[in-house]
Structure formats: C-alpha cells, structure tokens
Chain A
Amino acid sequence: MKILKSGLNIDFIKFRVPATFLSAMLIIASIVSISFNSLNFGLDFTGGTLIEVGYEKEANLDSIRSDLAGAGYEKVTVQYFGTSRDVIIRLAPVKGKKANEVGNHVLDTLKATSDDVAMRRIEFVGASVGEELTEQGGLAILVALIGILIYVSLRFEWKFALGSVAALAHDVIITLGWFSLIQMEFDLTVLAAILAVIGYSLNDTIVVFDRIRENFLKLRKQESSDVVNTSLNQTLARTIMTSLTTLLVLLALFFLGGATIHGFATALIAGVLVGTYSSIYVASNVALALGITKEDLMPPEVEKEGADQDALM
C-alpha cells in the first residue's frame, strides 16, 4: 500500500511565498495572543493549591463553592475534571507559613458537609518554587535550542543550523500561541511536551536536510531550489508516514490517557502538525534564503594525522 503515488513531483518551491506569508501570519498571531491573553499557567508555575476530589454521585459545584466561601475561601476556581463526579478546586497562592495547610483545610471543609468525598490528589506549590520553574523552563528550551544549533552546525553547516532552529522556534511559538488562544492549562507536562516537540520537529528537519545534502552531491548540475524541491518530494512519503504513526498514538493518549495527560497530548498533536509543515516549508526555506550552495556541503578536506609520513609497513 502506498499513500503517495510514486514519481511524485509537487512543486513545493512554487508555494514558497504564500507559505512564508502563512508562517509569518501564524507567528504574529501567536505572539499577539501570547502577549494579550498570556498563557494559562498552571499551578506548577504560578504556585497555589489544587485539590482534586472524587464524589460517588454527580457533584454539585455551586454547593461546593458556597461551602468553601463559608470557610473563608472566596477566590476559588471549582471545575469538573474529566467526569462530573471528579471536581478540581484551585486556589491562588496564599502568603505566610500556613500556605501549605490550605489543601488539607479545604479537604476537611468538603468532608464536613459530604461523606462520600474522596481525596484524589492535593498539590501545593509555593510561589517561589513556581517562579524558579518558569525560569528553568525558559532556560531549558533555550539550552536545548543552543545544543541543537551546535550539533547541526557541526554535522551540516551553519545555514542549515539556522534553518532548523528557525523551524523549531516557529513550531514552539505557534504551539504556545495555540495554547494561549484556547487557554488550556500550561503545566509541567505541557512544558515537557514542548521539549518533545523540539526533538520531534528537529527529527523531521534533519531527515530533509540529510537528503538535501545527499542530492547536492548527486545532482551537481541542478539549481539549489530544484535540489531542495527534489529532496522534499523524496522524503515526503516518510514525513507523512511518521507523522501519521505518531499522531495515532497521540490520539490514543488524547482520548484514553485521562484528564491529567490531556494538555500533554494536545501540545504534542499541535506540535507534530506544525512540525511536519515546518520541516517542509520553514527549515529548507530559511536555508535556501540564506543561500545554501553545494560548496557549503562538500566534506571539508581533512588532513589526516601522519598522512605526510611514510607508512611503516
């Protein structure tokens, strides 16, 4: 079975301008959304308290809210989590040393009015821990990008490295933009997903670059843009195939993995879709725009150690 006809020759380069325009629009839209809407940062980053409780019957959110208000918790978010029997309660960080008692106190309050409530989890993150995590998360993405930039520069060439990092930045910004638009909670698992997106999208890009390098050496007489186009066509079947298998398992996670893993799956699905597109259009476009030529890819002449000496045997 084949998804694509053999001998496929789509003129990707023809769509270069509209693709660049589309990417630019998406990035601008994402940045606008992030700067106005911000991200709906979860407990891991903002600090605060989260209590998930399970009821035997359908839970009444209003009565939970009024119970908590009676106990002095005014600013709380009470929502269903996954099912209408599971309820998640979020509280903003409280100042002072008793901040870590809030979770237990809320639980006690709920238990006082209803005896079929079961604690499923309590999470408390101090405000300082949250701040550190935000810094660390940003740092992680930065370090990963720099590490990759160095590796690709060493293995390929700086123009390719910039191309791949541009594609990564593109994917990360658009995935973040999507999260800011739908206001899904951005927690630690989503951060992990974003880093996995970096790995995944790069994987795609490298495969294309590898083929471009090979074709530059093989198709010496062709224009750079033709070489890129041929390479994209040759790798297209693989790009689609791998994206499909990855999406298959991600969809399984999205639908079956439970509410805790929802954000993670969403981020990866968005990332894989954008990543597939960017490895076709963004990475090679940037490399082309920077003017890759076959000279850039000729293996450097390495003088072997001892090459000028007579062989011993």
Chain B
Amino acid sequence: MFSNQANMRPINSYPKWVYGFLSVLLALMVLYALPNMYGEDLALQVTGEKGEAISEPLFKEIEQHLTDSGLVIKKSSNDESKALYRFNDSESQLKAKDLTQALLRAKNAGDFSVALNLAPATPDWLKDFGANPLKLGLDLRGGVHFLMEVDMNVALKNREEQYIADLKTKFREANARYASVVRSADVGLVAKFRNEESRDKADVTVRQNFPELQTRTREQGEIFELVMTISEQKLKEIKDYAVKQNTATLRNRINELGVAEPLIQRQGADRILVQLPGVQDSAQAKRILGTTATLQFRLVNESGGINPQRAPAGAELFKQREGGNIALRKSVIVDGSHLTDASVGYDERSMPQINVRLDAEGGSKMLAATSKNVNKPMAILLIETKGVYETVDGEQKLVDTYEEAEVVSAPNIQSALGSSFRITGQFTPAEAHELALILRSGSLIAPIYIVEERTVGPSLGKQNIELGKQSILVGFVAVLIFMLIYYRMFGLVANIALISNLVFIIAIMSMVPGAVLTLPGIAGIVLTVGMAVDANVLIFERIREELKEGTAPAQAIHNGYDKAFSTIADANITTLIAALVLFGIGTGPVAGFAVTLFIGIMTSMFTAIVGSRALVNLIYGGKKLTKISI
C-alpha cells in the first residue's frame, strides 16, 4: 500500500492525471483562442461623458430612432460600460452616428460620446467565459498615435508667477515693504528691499509660509535681496502636477471627440501618450488636443474708468466680449486649474448662468480676495491659443498660432465667494453651454508639443494583418512539412506540439490584459514558431544519438528527454533575458515584439517538453520496442 508508485510506473509513461490536466489545459486554450476566429462588426458606440453606460430607456429610444430611420441593426447591446449598435455596412454605421448625435442634441440630454467602433463579433457563450479576441495595435487597425511633451518651462513660469502674487500678499501682511518681486532666470525668485529690516521680516515670512522655498540673502549696493529657490521636491511636484493635469484635460477633450477605446497614458517624466484607434484626420485631432484654453479670475482695476485706452500702473488691458476695453489687476486670484466643475443653470429671470465649483485651495483664495472686494467687479478672463489659418487650394491650413485673451464677463461681486458660486452675465444659452464645456474639460496647464506621431490609414492596417497572417501560415506549414519528413512519427509529435504552441500563444495574448498584437509582434510569433521546434530537435537528435550507441529504443527515448532538458532550459533562459531587456527599454512596437517573444518562449518550452513527451509516451510507452520512427 505504501510502495512508491513512481518507481513502479513503467518507463515512458505519464500518470493518467497528467493527460487529464493536459486535455483540460488544451481545451481551455482553444476556448480562449477561439474568439479570434470571429471577425469584427462595424458598430456605433454610445457612452456617457465619463465613459459610463447610458440608461436603458435612452438605449431603447436610440435603437427605435435608428430603426425608424430605415437602418438595419444587426445586434445591439447595453452593458455596464457602453451601448453598442452593430451594422452590416459602413454606410449605415456613418448614418447612424449622425442620426444619434442629432437625436441626443435635440433631446438636450446632456453630454454623450458617440463614436464609430469595430466591435468584436464574439458569440455570447464565449463572452460568458470572459474570452475576448486579441487587441490589435494601431499599425494593424489604423489610427493615430501621438507622443506629447508638456512644456515644463511654461508650467514652471506659471507656477512662479503664482508664487509672486502669493509672496506679495504675505509680505504686505507682514509689513515687509518690498521694492519688487521678480522671476530671475537662474536662481528662481528674487525679492528686492530698500532696507535690511524689511528683508529679514520677509525672510521669516517666507520660511513660515512657504517651507518649499529655500532662501538666501545677498546685497547689491543699496538693495537688499532675498533669493528664493524652489526645492527639488517641489519642482518635481509642480512638473508631476502639470503632466497629470494635462493628461486629465486631454482625456476630457478626447471624450468630446468621440473616439472608441482611446488610450491616454503618462510616459516618463514629462510625456503623455495618446492613441486614438480609427481616427484618420490627425490634423483635426492635433487641433483639438493642442488647444490651450486657460481661464483666470482677476480683479478689475477701475482707476482708468470705463473703457480705458491705456493700462493704469500695475494693470493690464484686455478686450471685453461685449466690446470695449477693461483694465485688470496683474495678479490672478484663481486660475482654471482649481476648477472642479462647471455647469449651466438658469436664474430667477430664466437667464442662463454658469455654476462653478472650485477645489479647496481655489475656494480659500477666492474667499480671501472677494471678501475684501464686495461690490467691486471681478473679471473672468479666457486665454486661448488659437491657430492662424490660411486658405490654400480651397482648404484651411494652420500656419501659425497666437494667444487670444478676452474678458468673458466682469460681474460685480455680490458677496464673499467660496468654493461654489455662479457667474451671471449676458450669455445666450449656447454661449453658456460652450463656456461651461471649455471650463469643464479644463485648460492645459502648460502647452503640449507633439514629439512623435504615427498615423496609420485603415488600408495599410488591413494590408499588414493580411501579410502577417500569410507569412505566419506559409512559414508554419513549411516547418510542419520539414519536420514531418525529417523525423517522421516524432516529427508528427513535434508538429502537434507546435500547433498547440500557436494556440497557446494566441490564447494567452488574448487573455493578458494590455497585451496588444502589433506587426513586430506577428514577426515575434513567426520567429517563435521557427525557434520552438528547437527544443524538439534537441531531444530528437539526442534520441538518435542514443540509438546509434546501441541503447534500446525505450531507454533511448527516456535518455533523450532527460539529457536534453537542461540544455533546453539554459538556452531558453538566455533568450528570455533578451526578451525582458527588450520589454524594459522598448515602447510600442518593440515592446509588442518582446511580449510575444516572451510568451512564445514560455509556451514553446511547455509544449515541446511536456506536451511532446506526453504524446510520445502515449504512442510508445509501456510497449516492448524494437524500432521507433525517428
């Protein structure tokens, strides 16, 4: 009863549970690879503003509207993330988009994202298993890839100007009479004083209120200076914040653009990766994503009277939306970065108003500024970076950009304002909606530049898939034939292992979230197919050697597998190192190649060693052998 079963098992046999395990594993892999056999449907995707699903009644209403308009809907679904309407041709798909957008606008139902999409046609029973097809990279499905860099100099400049305003306030409170506070190129901020006493007071104030500023003092003749440098830690925070804020803004704008499954991701210290599958017009995408609209709240300088022609001291002159000029104080109370929400409402007289919410910091700044200035006007200044367009050959082209600042409204402060208040003015409802939208989608805290663009048209994507499939197929079949001729029965075993290897790779790639198939990825699969037979070749050559030395066939099989194992492991681990390095440094296509190579090596080791052994044992195990077909 307690005998060691392993020792009693005849040579070249696996226990039954191994076969059970392998069968279940193979069945699972086939199941998860299966969704890739079904194609994709042309679909229209409708989601809420923040990517949530739409309500069931609205879903039904859109469907009804589309059917009433004569469109044939192949299938529709509304799950927790999106509503999908599938169509048979792209004409209906495009028409459905226009119809749906018109319907939603007419209903004034709020903000929705309506996007064209390619939805996998995976049957429901497969979806129930959580099986999904491979995600294709942009080089295969077409679309726009941008790598954007945040202009940190501007981000820093904006923050330093904010510091200057804050410092001046604190100095005044502390009675430290300053001559000036300015930005200085190499050192950061410099405050100048006429006497040492004020400077020292200011120094103390800075230490108490701005621990992140490192101070030192210096004298230039009669002038006493306080030099303030922003700490490394804080600099990092400022940059971090700039990238995060810009990423959030880009995400909002992309939602407005209506793109299915966009990818917006921070990359490195100051870059943002944006991938928009299916988008063809990269010029339009650039225009919308790159617009830097910034909002500022400032107090009005009334010393120049109404419609001043020259800016009074300490003020700047701006144009007003309703006409004429207005002078604003230079210091900014709060800018758009503190804004958390903006929506349109209506006041008692049914006039549109914008309800604004600020974050805590913005709220307290607003309170401090407004409580001292009740019944004085406060201006809302909108600064937009606009493109200069020229008509060349009948088409609009962007030739330059410029900043356009405009005071949207300058209502009186009726009472001290906190983090939640409303803006009233002479808005039409449309203007109010537009303004709320710009405010809500936020401003880019600093300009962004595109440092890398890869736009792939749909025809090239299709062609790449076709070529990829073809080369995998031809290379694969060539290897299969070659192995069969060269190793006969064992070649057949290796071929079965190779086919299951391909199934494993596709299944795992489909299962791993974030794994994307790119053209280099396909090349990685092809390469793995070529190299995957290596393990079997090593084993089979060993068996041949053993046979040559006169070892009995059964023992030769056993020894062949045994002796080849450590070689296979060593050889593959080194290739794994190369794959890991590729993954670590590579981005986009190279990383895609590394992922397939990595998965391919792992699965090929398994199928070539365990899988082929199981088959060989099944064929040759437990028999008296005099000859084997190798």
What residues of chain A have their CB less than 8 Å away from a CB belonging to chain B?
1-3, 6-7, 52, 54, 97-98, 100-101, 103-105, 108, 112, 118-126, 128-129, 136-137, 139-140, 143-144, 147-148, 151-152, 155, 188-189, 191-192, 195-196, 198-200, 202-204, 206-207, 210-211, 214, 234-235, 237-238, 241-242, 244-253, 255-258, 260-261, 264-265, 268
- Residue B572 interfacial (CB < 8 Å): yes
Partner of A256, one of B474, B479, B485, B584: B474
Q: List, sorted by A's number, 29 A–B pairs whose CB atoms are closer than 8 Å.
A: A6-B548, A97-B401, A101-B286, A104-B286, A120-B459, A129-B451, A189-B520, A189-B523, A189-B590, A196-B524, A196-B593, A196-B597, A202-B571, A202-B574, A214-B563, A237-B541, A238-B538, A241-B486, A244-B482, A245-B479, A245-B537, A246-B534, A249-B476, A252-B471, A252-B472, A257-B467, A257-B523, A260-B464, A261-B467
Contacts of A210 in B (CB 8 A): 566-567, 570-571
CB of B486 within 8 A of CB of A123, answer no
Task: Please give me the residue from chain B that is nearest to A254 by CB atom.
Answer: B471
Partner of B456, one of A112, A121, A124, A128: A121
What residues of chain B have their CB less than 8 Å away from a CB belonging to chain A?
139, 147, 149, 280, 282-283, 286, 392-393, 395, 397-398, 400-401, 449-457, 459-460, 463-464, 467-468, 470-472, 474-476, 478-479, 482-483, 485-486, 488, 519-520, 523-524, 526-527, 529-531, 533-534, 537-538, 541, 544-545, 548, 563, 566-567, 570-575, 577-582, 584-586, 589-590, 593-594, 597
Q: State in angstroms the CA–CA spacing of A202 and B577 once bound together.
A: 11
Q: State in angstroms the CA–CA spacing of A200 and B453 once bound together.
A: 32
CB of A126 within 8 A of CB of B452, answer yes
Task: Please give me the residue from chain B that is nearest to A1 by CB atom.
Answer: B486
CB of A192 within 8 A of CB of B456, answer no
CB of A119 within 8 A of CB of B527, answer no
Contacts of B450 in A (CB 8 A): 100, 124, 126
CB of A120 within 8 A of CB of B574, answer no
Distance in angstroms from A19 CB to nearest chain B CB is 23
Known pairs A211-B567, A238-B537, A245-B537; list 7 more (Cβ under 8 Å): A54-B460, A104-B282, A128-B451, A192-B593, A247-B530, A252-B472, A252-B475
Q: State in angstroms the CA–CA spacing of A104 and B523 once bound together.
A: 30
Given contacts A203-B531, A258-B464, contact A120 B456 (CB under 8 A): yes
Contacts of A155 in B (CB 8 A): 570
CB of B574 within 8 A of CB of A191, answer no
Contacts of B566 in A (CB 8 A): 210
Contacts of A255 in B (CB 8 A): 471
Q: State in angstroms the CA–CA spacing of A151 and B570 once bound together.
A: 9
Contacts of B149 in A (CB 8 A): 126
Partner of A206, one of B393, B401, B470, B567: B567
Contacts of A250 in B (CB 8 A): 475, 526-527, 530
Partner of B585, one of A125, A139, A199: A139
Contacts of A241 in B (CB 8 A): 486, 537, 541
Partner of A249, one of B449, B451, B478: B478
Contacts of A123 in B (CB 8 A): 453-455
Partner of B523, one of A199, A207, A244, A264: A264
Q: State in angstroms the CA–CA spacing of A308 and B480 once bound together.
A: 55
Contacts of B282 in A (CB 8 A): 103-104, 122
Q: State in angstroms the CA–CA spacing of A217 and B282 once bound together.
A: 65
Partner of A7, one of B393, B533, B548, B577: B548
CB of B545 within 8 A of CB of A151, answer no
CB of B455 within 8 A of CB of A121, answer yes
Distance in angstroms from B578 CB to nearest chain A CB is 4
Q: Which of A104, A148, A155 is packed against the most chain B CB atoms within 10 Å? A: A104
Task: Please give me the residue from chain B that is nearest to A141 by CB atom.
Answer: B581
Q: State in angstroms the CA–CA spacing of A289 and B488 once bound together.
A: 41
Q: State in angstroms the CA–CA spacing of A185 and B428 once bound together.
A: 58
Q: State in angstroms the CA–CA spacing of A244 and B563 once bound together.
A: 23
Contacts of B483 in A (CB 8 A): 245
Contacts of B581 in A (CB 8 A): 140, 143-144, 147, 195
Contacts of B567 in A (CB 8 A): 206-207, 210-211
Q: State in angstroms the CA–CA spacing of A112 and B449 once bound together.
A: 27
Contacts of A144 in B (CB 8 A): 577-578, 581-582
Q: State in angstroms the CA–CA spacing of A172 and B534 once bound together.
A: 22
Contacts of B470 in A (CB 8 A): 256
Contacts of B482 in A (CB 8 A): 244-245, 248
CB of A200 within 8 A of CB of B398, answer no
CB of B590 within 8 A of CB of A192, answer yes
Q: State in angstroms the CA–CA spacing of A202 and B580 once bound together.
A: 15
CB of B531 within 8 A of CB of A119, answer no
Q: State in angstroms the CA–CA spacing of A244 and B452 once bound together.
A: 39
Task: Please give me the residue from chain B that is nearest to A139 by CB atom.
Answer: B585
Contacts of A191 in B (CB 8 A): 590
CB of A124 within 8 A of CB of B452, answer yes
Task: Please give me the residue from chain A that is nearest to B563 by CB atom.
Answer: A214
CB of A252 within 8 A of CB of B519, answer no
Given contacts A100-B449, A210-B567, contact A249 B529 (CB under 8 A): yes
Task: Please give me the residue from chain A that is nearest to B577 by CB atom.
Answer: A147
CB of A152 within 8 A of CB of B457, answer no
CB of B570 within 8 A of CB of A206, answer yes
Given contacts A120-B456, A143-B581, contact A248 B467 (CB under 8 A): no
CB of A119 within 8 A of CB of B538, answer no
